[in-house]
């Protein structure tokens, strides 16, 4: 089982994914990241995201 998990980690670490997203997708990703960070570290200071 350990070898299987190590193999999965090796594969996961060597795969790159390139995504093309529109402006709406970027906003959704930013909102998801903000929500995830607030759950992961409620005492972390999260910088304000500014869209230009």
Question: Is residue 48 in a domain?
Answer: no
Which residues form the domain of 12?
2-40
Question: Is residue 28 in a domain?
Answer: yes
Question: Is residue 47 in a domain?
Answer: no
Question: Is residue 24 in a domain?
Answer: yes
Question: Is residue 51 in a domain?
Answer: no
**CA-to-CA dists, residue 21 to 6, 9, 33, 44, 48, angstroms:** 32, 27, 15, 28, 21
Q: Domain total for the chain?
A: 1
pTM above 0.75, yes or no: no
Per-residue pLDDT of the chain (52 residues; tens, 9 = 90+): 445 444 445 555 556 666 677 888 888 888 888 887 777 666 666 666 666 5
């Amino acid at each position: 089982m350990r070898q299987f998990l190590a193999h999965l980690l090796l594969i996961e670490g060597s795969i790159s994914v390139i995504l093309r997203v529109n402006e709406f997708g970027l906003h959704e990703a930013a909102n998801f990241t903000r929500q995830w960070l607030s759950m992961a570290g409620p005492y972390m200071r999260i910088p304000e995201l500014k869209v230009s």
